[in-house]
Chains A and B, each alone.
Chain A
């Protein structure tokens, strides 16, 4: 099959189908409505299930049930809808159920607007739901990467028995780029799910999907057990891209849509004779410290650019460990930082750099 020109939201959906997802539960919310429309048409074509739930609260609980019964399940929403799902996500993590959740972020807080934003980074990586748990969070920056990461997300979710989040935004959801579905890297070994509730049948014992452990010592051990998975993820699932960082004075740090703008800015700056590089985290949790460890000695400063009031910048500061200044430039509310403005920030940094 040749490359297909596809909208991000639709590529996300198609990639899930190609990864073997046959159950989708969702609810309309802009800017991810194309996912529900695509799935409504496509699922019956592959003998799968599309169900529009009465709310995101209900939808995430349908995911809990279906994934707990052994299916590969995708659910998508945007910021306010993801807020509604937090209870369900905490239960899914606590009950160790695999699933893939995509947040096509929009401006907030509250009802906000429908344009692209990156103000749910904290919600995705630092909590969101109650209790000690983590989501493995992947942030695509192109439509091809969206498709690639959806496949990886299903494989990672099954391997770790944990929800995985694809953190996209309204711009990625809406833009169209060519996608090659034939060469997406898959985990070929099938992950069995002996723990799923499929009916006792000839299994010989009951399966129970549960996150209630009323005895504190037991709940403590359950938490440690879950966190052993996160330790493993810390050592295996960090992903990032580094461009032109070896000789850089200023390194831009950005993810998702704004990383594309940052890359352009880097190229413009280089043409003007400024040594600018880019670190693009692809896994937001676990957050990749390595590119910062590699560059903190030589670089003069970092400039984190986000479509928010500054959320990932705190993880950048942690990774840099006060070795060098970490600057921030961002715009909230669905506004996209412009190349000229980012260049101006770089100028300001150079202004202070001897």
Chain B
């Protein structure tokens, strides 16, 4: 008898509050599994965002700080500068990281802060009921773009992985998704690489995960996963945008 899959020790016993089929659940688990496998749970300090994942401090089995909206990379910088030998990560949505927190995100990367950022991009603001995000697609209907996003009014969606990869302080940047098993496994490898970049003291690492929001997209969970593949992936190509790791396992 062998265990093929069991719940990681990187997650607490608190059940997730996320909507049915929300990919936050998968991504939390991958981050937790990576931290357990790298044996860093006892020296990890995570920073939770404002957004659907605001309760992340209840779920990750390590020390946690709750940050103000968008400020997680600054909070993480403060923690890492006090404890350079600990593993410091943030977990943020698209409003947190690419709207209100853009300056904090860009400058943490520019400074090459040795932190790991998990960027959950689902092209919409979930917690507050489905408003446009900086990453919402042209034509996408949201609560604040009821006629579909237009470039004339709201410009074009922001490609964070591409932008941050131009910064010398960025050590590892990869865009992944979780819409099927193959991509979930690849996402986990990417997250592991990002934490390795921190452990190897290479600089700033970020994994952008194309994610779903069945509730605010108005589709079923499985349809939402397909929506990522059909609509998001063409605009946000998956792949490694920056890699300064010594060796990729």
Contact = CB atoms under 8 A, between A and B. Distances in A.
Interface of A: 23, 25, 49, 51, 53-55, 57-59, 61-71, 73, 87-88, 91, 95, 197-202, 206-212
A201 B104 contact: no
B104 A69 contact: no
A200 B41 contact: yes
B63 interface: yes
Contact of A207 (B41, B61, B63): B63
Interface string B60-78: 0111111110010011111
A87 B67 CA distance: 11
Interface stretch (B42-50, B205-213, B226-234): B42-50
Interface stretch (B81-89, B137-145, B177-185, B235-243): B81-89
Interface string B78-121: 11011100110000000000000001101100000000000000
B16 interface: no
Contact of A198 (B63, B75, B81): B63
B66 A61 contact: no
Given A65-B75, A199-B83, A208-B57, A54 B103 contact: yes
A67 B78 contact: yes
25 contacts: A51-B77, A54-B106, A59-B74, A61-B68, A61-B74, A62-B74, A65-B74, A65-B76, A65-B78, A65-B79, A66-B81, A66-B82, A69-B79, A69-B82, A71-B82, A88-B68, A88-B71, A197-B45, A197-B64, A197-B79, A198-B45, A198-B63, A199-B43, A199-B87, A212-B66
A42 B62 CA distance: 34
Contacts of A201: 42-43
Nearest to A48: B81
B79 A66 contact: yes
A54 B82 contact: no
A88 B103 CA distance: 15
Given A58-B104, A62-B78, A69-B82, A208 B54 contact: no
B78 A95 contact: no
A61 B78 contact: yes
A210 B78 contact: no
A199 B42 contact: yes
Contacts of A211: 66
Q: In the complex, which of the residues A53, A55, A58, A71 has the most CB atoms of chain B within 10 Å of its own CB atom? A: A58
B65 A64 contact: yes
Given A198-B86, A199-B45, A210-B66, A65 B103 contact: no
Interface of B: 41-45, 47, 54, 57, 61-68, 71, 74-79, 81-83, 86-87, 103-104, 106-107
Given A61-B74, A198-B86, A210 B57 contact: yes
A4 to B, nearest CB: 28
B229 to A, nearest CB: 34
A214 to B, nearest CB: 9
A211 B50 CA distance: 12
A61 B71 contact: yes
Given A53-B107, A58-B104, A65-B75, A91 B43 contact: no
B26 to A, nearest CB: 22
Contacts of A61: 67-68, 71, 74-75, 78, 104
A73 B83 CA distance: 14
Contact of A199 (B57, B71, B86): B86
A194 to B, nearest CB: 12
Contacts of A199: 42-45, 62-63, 83, 86-87
Contact of B78 (A66, A87, A212): A66
A201 B66 CA distance: 20
Given A61-B104, A64-B67, 13 more contacts: A51-B77, A54-B104, A58-B71, A61-B68, A64-B71, A65-B47, A65-B78, A65-B79, A66-B81, A68-B75, A68-B78, A69-B79, A198-B45
A86 to B, nearest CB: 11
Contacts of A63: 78
Nearest to A212: B66
Contacts of B41: 200
Given A66-B82, A69-B79, A53 B66 contact: no
B43 A209 contact: no
A23 B79 CA distance: 11
A176 to B, nearest CB: 31
Q: In the complex, which of the residues B66, B74, B107 has the most CB atoms of chain A within 10 Å of its own CB atom? A: B74
Nearest to B87: A199
Contacts of A95: 66
Nearest to B72: A61
Contacts of B57: 208, 210
Contacts of A197: 45, 63-65, 79
Nearest to A66: B78
A210 B104 CA distance: 20
Contacts of A67: 78
Q: In the complex, which of the residues B63, B71, B83, B86 has the most CB atoms of chain A within 10 Å of its own CB atom? A: B63
Contact of A200 (B63, B79, B83): B63
B42 A58 contact: no
Contacts of B44: 199-200
A58 B82 contact: no
Contacts of B62: 199-200, 206
